[in-house]
Structure 1
Amino acid sequence: MSNSSAPSVGYDIYAHRGRNIILDFHEELKRNMPEHMPTHLPGPVTGSDLRASLSATKASPVGILGAGAGGLYTALILQDLDIPYRIIEAQDKVGGRLFTYQFPDQTGTPYNYFDVGAMRFPMISSMERVFKLFDYPHLNTGDIALKSKLKPFYFVGGGNNNTYLSYNDVTIRQNAVPSLDPFKADQMIQDVETADRDQYINAGTKAITDDVIGPFATGLLKDLKNGGEEGWKYLQQFDAYSTRAYMALKYSPTTDVNIPKRPLPNDVVNWCETFDKSTGWYDRALSETVLEAVAFGWSPGPHPPRTQWVCIDGGAQEIAESMAKYIRSCGADPITLNAPVTSISMNDHDLNIDVVTNDNEHNKFSHVISTIPLPVLRTLDISRAGLSVRQSNALRELNYGPSVKIGLQFKTAWWTTGNDMDSKPLNIVGGQTYTDRPLRTIVYPSFGNVQGGQATTLIASYCWTEDATRLGALIDHIENKPLMTMVLRELAAIHNVTVDFLRGELLDQKAWSWSHNPYSMGAFAFFGPGKFESLYTSLNSPAARGRLHFAGEALSVRHAWVEGALDSAWKAVCEIIMSDYPDRKDKFFANWGTNAEWIRTTKPADMYTTPEDKDNFLLEHIVLTSPRREPQRD
């Protein structure tokens, strides 16, 4: 991999947040250290006290726990650096939350599938590492052709965008929504005077939520442009607030929206949440809402520029399969499937880590990089893994968001080629329908010849938070009769077709709740007010005398994205390089770039060279958080 294609992560809004969290934490640690404890770095990476304290035999390979996006990406890096490794995976397949379900019936083949997990990738600068992965030469050689599988994802419906908005029993095509609210907002907002209510309705939910988010997003963007920290400091003032609390207690509307100059009434907050997010989303951290908006291409104004999105032809699991295929082609298969980890512990006799699988199979590793989802990790026996009190508490306090997808396979793509009960063509091509009904979001396929109705699978519901919790309770993983009765009823109502018609079209169904999956125990990290900072600073330090490293989307500022899993894998490998493989560091940075959350760069060329100690915040983080740094005694 040449420098021009090295997957560096530039200094964007996410890196700005992550770096400042770390630097603020470091300053706090230094202030609280005894005077006789040195706070400088212990020398160069190639010969520091840190490396001496971490050095151990390299006879044992690096253990990678989990064969999802983060684990497989870790293996790609180690393979490139000629560092021996093994991957241990609990399930009978690779991919983790890169999970594509293929219906047994061949109708619509090869597009008889839907993505249960990750399914779409925005083409924005903060997702650079994942797009560099798509370009990785070893994944585009011979019969592995990952990049050729990138296809447009219709986040907004193609053509005239004939998808629907359906709220309060009013269903309207998205291309025909009138300027004044048609969804009975006057009946939703009852806790204000009529004149005030009219002002809120005239402004609309998008203008109000833009006004809430705008000062934070624009402040962070100004920081990036000017090299300042004012935007970051402003967001941090409200890090302990949920989105709901901020809107109801602290928000001060600008003159642009022409609404009462005070925080929002509860009914208005609920109204905004209904149209903007999912039920209960606003109870999570304000910073989560701000960064989510940026990731989805937020821009002020009624007509923001559209973000381009892509999906993977064959499903997102192809990403994992491509990585695994290359890894296996390099020699003996390093991936062990059907091997659930039951304990992780430090070895009493040397500095190796003992990983037990299937209760009685012992594996010895020089280092372990755990990409196991953090809620699952907490259920393992890690009592002898050397976690600090802060790390143990971070695992306990972590918030993972629920998510449900319900995939249906039909005989035809009736939403594209069929008519409704009024004999009007449905003519929906890709995109999404949004509703306050239980399904919340309906995702139409973007793969295959969508205009011709080739793909006959539909994500009938994609929902999060409280909406997912309720639907998840109906999933029985067999016939799902009560669930399917509800799903078909709701689909029929929204699309103005009969339930009998849909029953006649239906071939198969697959419902999935990530919260009820024992290998994930949640869909993605989704933090409450003030929670991310504690987890980010504690679990981004190794445990087990510097031998147990944590990775996964939850440990990145880009959490809930594949990009986050890759970034955290880079960080975990970097820790190992600094401790045991200083001779590989130049190749590591040249081929795999830097991460601006952890490495300061001043010019583009710096992103592909080994950083100096003063610019390596990850090294400083390990030094400052290491339990081995005891005060010196006279």
Structure 2
Amino acid sequence: MSWTYRRITVAEMKSWLEWLDRLISRPVPFLLPERVGGRIFTHQFGPLEGGSQTDAAKYEYFDAGAMRFHKSPFMKRLTDLVERLGSLTEIPYVFADEHQATFLSYNGISITRKDESLGIDPDPFKVRQALIQPSNQPQTELEWLLVPSSAQRWLTEVALEEPRSLFKKDVPIQEAIRQLFEKYDCYTMRSWLTSRVFPPMTKPLTFPQIAWLRRSTDQVERLTRHSQKSSSVRRYRMTGQVKKLPNGTASSAWLQISRSLRYIPNNESSGGSSQLPLAMEQKIKSEVKKNHSVTLIRENKSTSQSPSSMTVVTNNDSCKEYAAVLCTLPFGCLSAMDLTGCSIMTENYSQWSSIRELKYTPAIKIGMRFKSPWWEERLGIIGGQSFSDLPLRRIAYPSYPKGHSKSNCLIASYCLLTDSLRLSSLVENPKTGTASATLIRLVMRDLAIIHNLDVKDIEEYYDDNGENCFVWDWNQDPFTMGGFAFYGPTQFFHQHQAMMQPAANGKLFFSGEALSSAHGWVVGALESAWNCVSTFLQSHQLKDEDGKLLHDKFLQQWPDLSNILGLKDEFVKLSFGSEKDIDRTAPDVSKCVMS
């Protein structure tokens, strides 16, 4: 059996490869780049010129990809995996600085979170005249719009209250989710905000008001283009406010991954999300074929001399046959593969349409290493994020290692959508992550403006030797062709439904974060991988040497966590159908061997 994948979040099948390796003939994972992990990608800065490696150097890294996960019941599959691997641990990720020393910077005005919370200025960014007066609405109706934190609360507690209330009612969760699809999946957040009159207003929001919401509220920046249903699902899964959860509300804590101290050799990085796939790779007995790009997957019909099979061709013209293929490619990369021999385009156009049409969010991150953490030394910032309408948009400060002095590496920018595409034009070499001199000057300028400092104040902490800035543009990464799945209105129900079905008469299976209800999250990749392996074992009714179903053994080692949570993943159930709908027309592959 072959796992065909390029660079993809958590190399999604790896946690199950070790288990399958013991039960059926050895699976073969294909991986194009040299590194594992895909959209889990930690960049470790090299040793400083002329300097020696110290303990501090172990923390000179930043996550260019996935960097945090929420401590909630829905993350259980990920937290269980971290525990199983043994060499990893979870450490706190400071999402919001407790001292409120981070900044909000809009319209050329920068204030700290603390200043905003004190409410000294009810219009801190001077937008009242532009947003309220032209609308002919009473000022009291829109006072909440002037301050980003109150606008964020209004979005969550007022604008999204109607769909979120479905999960608070005393109705079965299946019915709540079904109503969510039927009533709200047709909206974008923008159309939702303009289609209703929300309290305390007497008129719908105007275009300039929504534009300000997008600029000042990080969530709305994405959600105005996202489906309204996906916005509600995100809130439902991440906030834990559904009273049906057996353990009460989910914790608001955020976590990140690190190696346990006893597993850190000298001069090696201590943490970063990449430690997860690296630890997983060490557990796999099968050889991972790196630098192999799968260019073609073709179904071979059965003949009187041979059973049906799948042909896999790689970029070095290697051609081999396998009994089945489990594919975790992002759809952009999948569309570049030759699938004409899989009957997808002719017999299952809905799958081909899904592969072609699903959008992946443009995303870019800029990491910079400074001589010391000036944001901590000069401003008292420890963890958390600053937000701005300048090109950098979002800055994330390190909250590792434990103790007072934190890493000297800063995520100077984390951008999505249009902001990401604009910054990408200033990347000198997207293959090596090299920033142009123009981009570095822009970063320095914006950092100074956002933090109310002079540019020279920041430049004195930075050694511009070409080794201290790393920028990764996921849209220009040929192995992902985008950041993460970004469903628009009605897309999730139809495209998810199509791709959950195996192709090539039950021999080609699809997986990935896009095919889960938690798309955009590592746990979504794990959810999808679990469903993919489970479906594969069910559809082929594989048995061990004693005649016992492998699917039963699989569930013993990797249980259906929805039962533990007291909650079925109805997004999968609604899209895939019941167990009786699983395609069982494929030939028996109980001896799933490679030719």
Return closer, same or farther for 1:207/1:335 CA change in 2, 3 Å cut-off: closer
2:366 is matched with: 406
Structure 1 unaligned blocks of 5 or more: 1-60, 419-425, 608-612, 629-634
- What amino acid does structure 2 have at the position aligned with 1:126? F
1:165 is matched with: 104
Following superposition, the deviation at residue 530 of structure 1 comes to 1.2
Return the match for 1:469 from 402, 421, 432. Answer: 421
Structure 2 unaligned blocks of 5 or more: 243-248, 259-270, 544-548, 588-595
Return closer, same or farther for 1:502/1:386 CA change in 2, 3 Å cut-off: same
Following superposition, the deviation at residue 172 of structure 1 comes to 1.1
1:516 is matched with: 476
Return closer, same or farther for 1:617/1:284 CA change in 2, 3 Å cut-off: closer
Return closer, same or farther for 1:233/1:605 CA change in 2, 3 Å cut-off: closer
Q: Aligned runs of 1:252-331 on 2, under 5 Å?
A: 252-254=197-199, 258-260=200-202, 262-277=203-218, 279=221, 281-297=223-239, 307-313=252-258, 314-327=271-284, 330=285
1:85 is matched with: 27
1:565 is matched with: 525
Deviations 1:97-146, CA, capped at 9 Å, x for gaps: 1110111134741011100110001011111111111111xx11xxxx12
Following superposition, the deviation at residue 439 of structure 1 comes to 0.9
Return closer, same or farther for 1:295/1:509 CA change in 2, 3 Å cut-off: farther
Following superposition, the deviation at residue 485 of structure 1 comes to 1.2
Deviations 1:30-88, CA, capped at 9 Å, x for gaps: xxxxxxxxxxxxxxxxxxxxxxxxxxxxxxx3434347421313414423645521110
How far apart, CA to CA, are the structure 2 residues paired with 1:135 and 1:80? 21
2:62 is matched with: 114
Following superposition, the deviation at residue 335 of structure 1 comes to 0.5
Return the match for 2:5 from 54, 57, 65. Answer: 65
Return closer, same or farther for 1:133/1:499 CA change in 2, 3 Å cut-off: same
1:129 is matched with: 77
How far apart, CA to CA, are the structure 2 residues paired with 1:188 and 1:280? 23
8 Å CA contact 1:64–1:85 kept in 2: the answer is no
1:438 is matched with: 391
Whether 1:355 and 2:312 are equivalent positions in the alignment is yes
Whether 1:526 and 2:486 are equivalent positions in the alignment is yes
8 Å CA contact 1:66–1:370 kept in 2: the answer is no
Return closer, same or farther for 1:543/1:182 CA change in 2, 3 Å cut-off: same
8 Å CA contact 1:492–1:502 kept in 2: the answer is yes
Q: Return structure 1 stretches of 4+ with deviation > 4 angstroms.
A: 80-83, 225-228, 603-607
Return closer, same or farther for 1:264/1:306 CA change in 2, 3 Å cut-off: farther
Return the match for 1:208 from 133, 154, 161. Answer: 154
Return closer, same or farther for 1:222/1:77 CA change in 2, 3 Å cut-off: farther
8 Å CA contact 2:502–2:583 kept in 1: the answer is no
Q: Secondary structure at the match of 1:237?
A: helix
How far apart, CA to CA, are the structure 2 residues paired with 1:366 and 1:461? 45
- What amino acid does structure 1 have at the position aligned with 2:97? G
Q: Secondary structure at the match of 2:453?
A: coil
Return the match for 2:443 from 463, 468, 487. Answer: 487
Normalising by structure 1, we get a TM-score of 0.78
Return closer, same or farther for 1:208/1:196 CA change in 2, 3 Å cut-off: farther
Q: How much is the aligned-residue C-alpha RMSD, in angstroms?
A: 2.8
Identity over the aligned pairs, expressed in percent?
Answer: 28
1:501 is matched with: 457
Return closer, same or farther for 1:63/1:279 CA change in 2, 3 Å cut-off: closer
1:24 is matched with: none
1:369 is matched with: 326
How far apart, CA to CA, are the structure 2 residues paired with 1:605 and 1:512? 40
How far apart, CA to CA, are the structure 2 residues paired with 1:263 and 1:479? 43
Count residues in correspondence. Answer: 526
How far apart, CA to CA, are the structure 2 residues paired with 1:580 and 1:252? 54
* Deviates further, 169-178 or 497-506: 497-506
1:219 is matched with: 166
How far apart, CA to CA, are the structure 1 residues paired with 2:135 and 2:350? 48
2:408 is matched with: 456
1:346 is matched with: 299
1:39 is matched with: none
Return closer, same or farther for 1:168/1:90 CA change in 2, 3 Å cut-off: same
1:25 is matched with: none
How far apart, CA to CA, are the structure 1 residues paired with 2:133 and 2:477? 41
Return closer, same or farther for 1:228/1:523 CA change in 2, 3 Å cut-off: closer
How far apart, CA to CA, are the structure 2 residues paired with 1:298 and 1:195? 35
1:581 is matched with: 542
8 Å CA contact 2:331–2:356 kept in 1: the answer is no
1:174 is matched with: 113
Q: Secondary structure at the match of 1:87?
A: strand
1:155 is matched with: 95
* Deviates further, 494-503 or 335-344: 494-503
Following superposition, the deviation at residue 237 of structure 1 comes to 1.5
8 Å CA contact 2:342–2:504 kept in 1: the answer is yes
Return the match for 2:376 from 416, 428, 453. Answer: 416
Following superposition, the deviation at residue 280 of structure 1 comes to 5.6
8 Å CA contact 1:65–1:71 kept in 2: the answer is no
Q: Secondary structure at the match of 1:395?
A: helix
How far apart, CA to CA, are the structure 1 residues paired with 2:294 and 2:189? 37
Q: Secondary structure at the match of 1:549?
A: strand
How far apart, CA to CA, are the structure 2 residues paired with 1:400 and 1:621? 29
Return closer, same or farther for 1:184/1:294 CA change in 2, 3 Å cut-off: farther
How far apart, CA to CA, are the structure 1 residues paired with 2:397 and 2:60? 13
Deviations 1:424-481, CA, capped at 9 Å, x for gaps: xx0100010111111111000121146223x100000011111111112221223411
How far apart, CA to CA, are the structure 1 residues paired with 2:227 and 2:112? 32
How far apart, CA to CA, are the structure 2 residues paired with 1:360 and 1:377? 18
How far apart, CA to CA, are the structure 2 residues paired with 1:263 and 1:195? 10
Deviations 1:283-314, CA, capped at 9 Å, x for gaps: 221122222334443869xxx99611111121
